[in-house]
């Protein structure tokens, strides 16, 4: 009788540890990787077949990863953007000209219209 009860508690304890093992690293990662606002200008660099970057207002360069449809809409030279981003560590690409950041949300954009922007989300006009 005791061994059956003991086994049940062992199974419950093991399941509890598995659940905690899945939750705690994600919570710790979210704390280490806060989201922040990036203010800058879209720039095209003719390196290794071409790369789009955000040149921050402080002069630092960033390479974006995220939803391809949104990123494509941002590919306009000189476009001013305000983005909500988070660091995307351990990422490397062909251009290697700036830190990689993951685009969480497009906050604001301002610049000239382009035919490619007809399907751009939140298009002005």
Its CATH class, for the domain covering 35-119, is: mainly beta
The 3-class SS string of the chain reads: CHHHHHHHHHHHHHHHHHHHHHHHHHHHHHHHCCEEEEEEEEEEECCCCCEEEEEECCCCEEEEECCHHHHHHCCCCCCEEEEEEEECCCCCCCCCCCEEEEEEEEEEEECCCCHHHHHCCCCCC
Rounded (10°) CA dihedral 53, 103, 106, 52: 20
pLDDT the model gives residue 116: 44
- Give the whole-angstrom CA distance, residue 100 versus residue 45: 15
Q: What are the residue ranges spanned by the domains of the chain?
A: 1-32, 35-119
CB atoms within 10 A of CB 99: 15
Higher pLDDT, 114 or 99: 99
pTM, entire model: 0.63
pLDDT in tens, 30-63: 567 799 999 999 999 998 788 999 999 999 999 9
pLDDT in tens, 55-87: 999 999 999 999 999 999 999 999 999 999 999
- Give the whole-angstrom CA distance, residue 67 versus residue 72: 9
pLDDT the model gives residue 67: 93
């Amino acid at each position: 009788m005791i061994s059956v009860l003991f086994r049940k508690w062992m199974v419950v304890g093991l399941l509890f540890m598995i659940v905690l093992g899945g939750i705690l690293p994600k919570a710790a990662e979210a704390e280490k990787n806060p989201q922040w606002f990036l203010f800058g200008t879209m720039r095209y660099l003719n390196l290794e077949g071409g790369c789009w970057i955000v040149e921050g207002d402080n002069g630092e360069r960033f390479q974006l990863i995220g939803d391809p449809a949104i990123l494509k809409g941002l590919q306009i030279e000189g476009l001013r953007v305000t983005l909500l981003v988070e660091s995307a560590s351990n990422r490397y690409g062909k251009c290697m000209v700036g830190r990689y950041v993951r685009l969480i949300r497009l906050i604001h954009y301002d610049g000239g219209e382009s035919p490619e922007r007809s399907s751009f989300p939140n298009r002005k006009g």
